[in-house]
Structure 1
Amino acid sequence: MNRFDITILGCGSALPTTLHNPSSQLVNMNEKLFMIDCGEGTQLQMRKFKSRIGKLHSIFISHLHGDHIFGLPGLLSTLSLLGRTGDLTIYGHQDLQKFIDLLINYFGQHFPFRINLHPLDPYNHQVIMENKSMRVHSFPLNHRIATCGFLFEEKEGQRHIIRERIDFYQIPLHNLSSIKAGEDFVTADGTVIANRSLTYPAAPPRKYAYCSDTAYFPEIIPYIENADVLYHEATFAETELARAKQTFHSTAREAAEIARAANVKKLVIGHFSSRYNELDQLLKEAMVVFPDTELANEGKVIEL
């Protein structure tokens, strides 16, 4: 099975603390690194957790609040110092181009690589990246400014050959690719050998959903339904429900309600307010609704 895991680099909210870094994650799919958000100190977190900066494929920015983008200048400068020459694609709101242009004009005129912004539509679901093995979707969240969530999903794999059946029917090697793709095999005398007797299904495609920052927003459920893992912001406890509504954030319980309604397998909560030195209250409130809940923490690796 191909590698698919997530490393939490930061799971705090806007006000800095010594307990948590601002938002950032690394998604590793097939040994390619995809960064989600880039809060202040992200590149140092990559060093700390031994993430290979040179493997960074692209960056996905959910929205243009500082705790999600202030790590970009240092990261881009380091990529330049390390001699990166390949293009870097950043997915984000179209206004991110102003920030990128400012960086280049003042600090990056000699960057050895090109930065390409792929503008997102923050009001509609889109497939924003696709290759032969995976897709990345964006979808709208409900925050104070235009904000996107992201879904990383594998494509359905080819069926697996049952070697003994292939040998029994003496099927030539040049037929195997079509059989893996689901075709039946026809023998020389015209007998049809059903594909299901020659193969077994590939493992179900895995999906990872990222939702930060957002108020309670059931409209996202169709986009994240049946995800293997959902990361959902849980900035506040229920005692701060009014504050959550005012700031367009979620409580831990609300995150769990989304997870339950979306029938996800596991919920990871993060984006914790700086007011919490202990997070047990948030975890307990979420687990009452959705038992398979975990707390995010810097350095945590989530394997799918």
Structure 2
Amino acid sequence: MSLKLTILGCHSATPRVNANPTAQLLEIKNHSFLIDCGEGTQVQLRKYNVKFSKIKHVFISHLHGDHFYGLIGLISTFRLLNREAELHIYAPKGLKEIITLQLKASNSWTQYPLLFHELCSKKSELIFEDKKVEVHTIPLDHRIYTNGFLFKEKLGERKLNMGAICKIPEIKICDYQNLKIGRDFVLQNGTILQNKTLTLNPEKPISYAFCSDTSYYPEIIPTIKNVNCLYHETTFLEDRADLATKTKHATAQQAASIAKQAKVKKLIIGHYSGRYKNIEGFKTESKIIFKNTQLAETGKVFKIE
């Protein structure tokens, strides 16, 4: 199994010609989750051939413009495209009021259901769940109320051990689903064949943690422990550690320290300050502490396995 993560934007503050603000698309278990929605996100979605109709859930980390100013444009475009499906938005309290005012002032009410799930808890909470996926908040430490998001696959069905099954003529194709969900098989003579003798363990679920703007905040470690992949902001290098502290952002080495302590498998860093013309320095500094570091770059696709 694998997840697909497309970086639509990974730079901080003001958008530039080749530097889009934060937005990501996570494809997991037939869901296309949009994570943050900085300016120009809908153009980036078009650029990378993402079907708008697939997006039914949007997760906004906090109400700084470079993380949500693209949302009203996307909502309006959905309206122009005659969208009918619901759009769920998970965001800090206050976003509903902002979007509603914009729609009211422009007399552009959506003809599709626009459903807001406003967040205010400072503790991690489950905010989305279906049979295959669950999403939890990751409370962060920034200048305003901010959450990251933890996306986790649920444990899947067991896999059929066809080598063992083929030796039992009584087992028919119609019995396969019961085996997949863990049931034993009862032979006609009453003998019970334990499920584990006929199936194999399911693949381990995959998890992805998105940590938006935040200072160095070790309190998140228990929530993101052992995730397959962590995205953590790295606005500054160590030469501006004082500014990171002042603005409640993180450095590359601080992100690496979090990844190491949480024992994550892969670290992706981004949200680079425009002060830096070459982002390779972020990777260099992070790798001092955490070797498996990769740079977020606009348009880059990561397979999380």
TM-score strictly above 0.5: yes
Using the alignment, how far apart are the partners of 1:292 and 1:98 within structure 2? 41
Deviation (angstroms), 1:38 = 0.5
Shift in Å, 1:32: 2.7
Q: Which residue of 2 aligns with 1:185?
A: 185
Which aligned pairs between 1:25-104 and structure 2 lie closer than 5 A? Answer: 25-104=24-103
CA contact (8 A) 2:124 2:138 kept: yes
The aligned counterpart of 1:119 is: 118
Q: Which amino acid aligns with 2:134?
A: R
Alpha-carbon deviation of 1:175? 3.6
The answer to whether the 8 Å contact 1:38/1:61 transfers is: yes
Paired with 1:297 and 1:116, the residues of 2 have a C-alpha distance of 31
Structure 1 distance, partners of 2:73, 2:54, is: 17
Task: State the percentage of identical aligned residues.
Answer: 44
Letter in 2 for 1:254: Q
Which residues in structure 2 correspond to 1:225-304 (within 5 Å)? 225-304=225-304
SS where residue 289 of structure 1 aligns? coil
Which whole-Å CA distance do the structure 2 matches of 1:260 and 1:172 have between them? 48
Distance 1:65 1:177 in 2: 48
One-letter code aligned to 1:225: K
Question: Structure 1 CA distance, aligned partners of 2:28 and 2:11?
Answer: 24
1:221/1:261 contact within 8 Å kept: yes
Question: Is the contact made by 1:39 and 1:72 (CA closer than 8 Å) also made in structure 2?
Answer: yes
Verify the 8 A CA contact 2:29 2:133 in the aligned structure 1: no
Partners of 1:190 and 1:111 lie apart in 2 by 60
Deviation digits for residues 37-88 of structure 1 (CA, Å, limit 9, x no counterpart): 1000111111111111121111000000011111012111111111101121
Say if 1:122 and 1:148, in contact at 8 Å, map to a contact too: no
* Equivalent position amino acid for 2:246 in 1: Q
Q: Secondary structure at the match of 2:18?
A: coil
Distance verdict in 2 for CA 1:108–1:42, change over 3 Å? farther
CA distance in structure 1 between the partners assigned to 2:57 and 2:36 by the alignment? 11
1:202 aligns with 2:241: no
Deviates more, 1:164-173 or 1:11-20: 164-173
How big is the shift at 1:131? Answer: 0.9
Q: Is structure 2 residue 162 aligned with structure 1 residue 163?
A: yes
CA distance in structure 1 between the aligned counterparts of 2:146 and 2:123, rounded to whole angstroms? 11
Check the 8 A contact 1:159/1:180 in 2, yes or no. Answer: yes
Q: C-alpha separation between the residues in 2 aligned to 1:260 and 1:83?
A: 46
Question: Please, which runs of 5 or more residues in structure 2 have no aligned partner?
Answer: none
In the alignment, is the contact (CA less than 8 A) between 2:56 and 2:85 conserved in 1? no
Instruction: Tell me which residue corresponds to 2:223.
Output: 223
Cα deviation for residue 173 of structure 1 reads 4.1
Q: TM-score, normalization: structure 2?
A: 0.95
Name the residue aligned to 1:212. Answer: 212
Question: Unpaired segments of 5 or more residues in structure 1?
Answer: none
Alpha-carbon deviation of 1:124?
A: 1.0
**Cα RMSD, aligned residues only:** 1.4
Q: Distance in 1 between matches of 2:163 and 2:9?
A: 49
8 Å contact from structure 1 (residues 38, 70) kept in 2: yes
Residues of 2 paired with 1:112 and 1:202: CA distance? 42
Paired residue secondary structure (1:275): coil
Count, aligned residues = 303
Q: Matches of 1:48 and 1:289 in 2, distance apart?
A: 35
Cα deviation, 1:222-277, whole Å, max 9, x if unaligned, reads 11111111100000001111110111100000000111111111100000001011
- Aligned mates of 1:268, 1:66 — CA distance in 2: 22
Q: Give distance in 2, aligned partners of 1:58 and 1:136.
A: 11
Helix, strand or coil at the partner of 1:255 = helix
Moved over 3 A (4+): 172-175
In the other structure, the counterpart of 1:135 is 134
> Aligned-pair distance for 1:185?
2.3
Q: CA deviation at 1:108?
A: 4.8
> Per the alignment, do residues 260 and 131 of structure 1 end up closer, same or farther by CA in structure 2, a change over 3 Å counting?
same
2:288 aligned counterpart, secondary structure: helix
Provide the TM-score with structure 1 as the length reference.
0.95
Cα distance in structure 2, aligned partners of 1:24 and 1:122: 23
